Amino acid sequence: MRRLGGLVGSVALVLGLATAPPTQAEDAVRDNGAAGEADSLNQGDVPPSEACNSTPKASGGSRIVRHTPTGPVIDGTQRYTAGICVYLPPGYDDGTTRYPVLYLLHGGGGDQADWVTFGDVQATVDAAGGDLIVVMPDASNGDEDREGGNGVWYDHPKQLQMNETYLIEHVIPYVDWTFRTIHHREGRAIAGLSNGGLGAMVMAAKHPDLFVAATSQSGNLGGYLHEYDQQNRPLYHDGNTPTPLASNLALMVRWGATCDPMGDLQEDLCASWAFEQFFRYDNQLFHSTLDELGTEHVYAEVEGSHAWRWWSTWLRDHDLPFVLEHLADAHPVDDAPNATLEAVTWTYKSISNSFDVWGYTFDVDRDELDAWLEIDNTVRPMTVTGSGTVTVTNKQTGGVAVVHLGEGSTKPVVFDA
């Protein structure tokens, strides 16, 4: 087990599949994220269109740029908030190096520029050596008349805002096509604060083949005050929060358990620490669940609160060293990419009717809108547990298996010749 500055680091349990970056054009639709979203938590907010267009601080130094990749549009309505802020490391313009990528998520009431404006991300990554690209996407509302944003990183149950789809199916392919990235699992990590901490854990749990490491700061891991449509879709919460999906994960979790008398008490009478305690139970439950599963991870209840004065420090001292320990190193563009293999053994569960994971596509035809499908690839042949009919496609070989589970059963997946 690795040691990270006195912390016990999680060991990557599985390897991912390399994916070729597809072509994708810059967005030509309305830029509804340029002005950002400021609220009382973020005094002094700077619009992303201004905050994320920096020149290098020195010749050949790092810089922050802003791009607007395409996203999901349904019935002519844009279902995402346009724009990503991107940290490019010193020397990037030399054109000689491929870099790992950290996807860094903002919290509720924030926008794509938060980590630039309030988190001092440029100076922090520079100080760490700067050998990575940092991508900061947006899950704010984007439109005042549409709900479903505000740092909610999964897709809204009524598809009002499709933030998970935007990040996974649009932003990541765009980043891999546009920038010199290490475009497979060993080259990606994800992290976030508050609602972004929830988002990082959900993305890592639902897409373990895309991210080698994940971290959460002050994470709203129970989805407090989020809309899950529990009346009509009772499993939507469990399918979009990390604890029920914990068997898919290996990661790092940190939150503020105590008030700092020299900081929080003097700054705001520990009001931000008190808010942090809303998330105490769900963070502790997540930790105990990972322990029961035997999943190696870092968990820390530390002095701190729900405030930028802690998050930027945690990023510098803990989260960034953690992800850099697990990410593949930057390497010359002419070098062969790191070898990537399908995970030898893995388990996975999802309520989705269609999803890709570890080089397989699963399409489920069943009566329930949301129901668990559990996959066990620790046995041979692989098995699926659930209901309905499951069509499994091996994306490497093209093999197809159709499994009839009926009202509920466990059956092997046997591919055609």
Q: What is the pLDDT of residues 349-387, one digit of tens each?
A: 999 999 999 999 999 999 988 999 999 998 999 999 999
H helices of 137-210, where?
163-165, 172-178, 195-206
Which helix (H) or strand (E) segment is 49 a member of? helix 48-51
Within this chain, do residues 271 and 229 fall inside the same structural domain, yes or no?
yes
341: in domain = no
Within this chain, do residues 351 and 326 fall inside the same structural domain, yes or no?
no
51: in domain = yes
For residue 59, the enclosing domain spans 3-332
Within this chain, do residues 288 and 377 fall inside the same structural domain, yes or no?
no
Last residue of a domain, one of 332, 366, 396: 332
Residue 389 · residue 239 · CB < 8 Å: no
Q: Which residue has the tokens 């639709």?
A: 29
218: in domain = yes
Residues contacting residue 288 through CB under 8 Å, at least 6 positions apart: none
Within this chain, do residues 323 and 398 fall inside the same structural domain, yes or no?
no
339: in domain = no
Within this chain, do residues 326 and 360 fall inside the same structural domain, yes or no?
no
Last residue of a domain, one of 287, 308, 332: 332
Within this chain, do residues 273 and 366 fall inside the same structural domain, yes or no?
no
Within this chain, do residues 111 and 250 fall inside the same structural domain, yes or no?
yes
Within this chain, do residues 327 and 370 fall inside the same structural domain, yes or no?
no
pLDDT for residue 385: 98
- Nearest in space to 247 (alpha carbons), one of 352, 372, 140: 372
Which stretches of the chain drop beneath a pLDDT of 70? 1-29, 38-42, 144-149, 249-281, 301-307, 336-344, 417
Residues contacting residue 240 through CB under 8 Å, at least 6 positions apart: 154, 202, 223, 228
342: in domain = no
Within this chain, do residues 276 and 351 fall inside the same structural domain, yes or no?
no
107: in domain = yes
41: in domain = yes
Within this chain, do residues 194 and 302 fall inside the same structural domain, yes or no?
yes
Q: How far is CA 110 from CA 146, 194, 248, 303, 317, in A?
A: 16, 10, 28, 23, 23
Compute how many other C-beta atoms are within 10 angstroms of the C-beta atom of residue 403. Answer: 21
Within this chain, do residues 31 and 96 fall inside the same structural domain, yes or no?
yes
Last residue of a domain, one of 300, 332, 364: 332
Within this chain, do residues 322 and 355 fall inside the same structural domain, yes or no?
no
pLDDT for residue 343: 63
pLDDT for residue 232: 87
pLDDT for residue 64: 96
321: in domain = yes
Q: What is the pLDDT of residues 250-270, one digit of tens each?
A: 444 443 444 454 454 445 434
Q: What is the CATH number of the domain that holds 264?
A: 3.40.50.1820
Domain tally, the chain: 2
Report d(CA 169, CA 152) in Å as an integer: 17
